[in-house]
Amino acid sequence: MPSVVANEGPGIPQADFLENRFGLTPAQARLVIHLVEGDSLRSSAKALGIKYETVRSYLKSVFQKTGSHRQAELVLTVFSAMSDDPKPRALPASPGSVTLEAASEACHLQHPRRQTVRL
């Protein structure tokens, strides 16, 4: 089986990177991967085979551990952590995944009074 190597551009982080970087549980890391890919909380719950309420609980813990308050901010935090890591292990971005620019724009649209943070 071929191994997956990060390519240029934003990718989808692997669970172990998120667990080590932010102290997430494996279940929380799997949720974050779905959110970075652009999935909703409901579709993430369905894909993970857990209840929506459980996903909301995981997300609250993830926000606390990452210092984020909204999903778009969480995605930016993850991308920023990946760019800070000298060898971020990531999967290639899927066609439907969120780009850094899209996440930044979504965060700005939700909070137009906030200043854009340069990564």
Q: Is residue 96 part of a domain?
A: yes
Distance, CA of 2 to CA of 50 (rounded, Å): 30
Q: Is residue 105 part of a domain?
A: yes
SS3 13: strand
Higher pLDDT, 9 or 68: 68
Q: Is residue 78 part of a domain?
A: yes
- Per cent of the chain over pLDDT 70 is 61
Other Cβ atoms closer than 10 A to 42 = 10
For the chain, give the mean pLDDT. Answer: 75
pLDDT value of residue 40: 95
CATH number of the structural domain spanning residue 49: 1.10.10.10
Q: Is residue 54 part of a domain?
A: yes
How far separated are the first and last CA of the chain, in Å rounded?
Answer: 35
Token reading at 10: 């934003």
Domain count, the chain: 1
Q: Is residue 56 part of a domain?
A: yes
Label residue 82 by pLDDT band (50, 70, 90): confident
Q: Is residue 117 part of a domain?
A: no
pLDDT value of residue 112: 44
Q: Is residue 1 part of a domain?
A: no
Scored b (16 or more CB within 10 A) or e, 49-70 reads: ebeeeebeebbeebbebbebee
Full domain range(s) for residue 18 = 11-110
Higher pLDDT, 109 or 64: 64
Q: Is residue 60 part of a domain?
A: yes
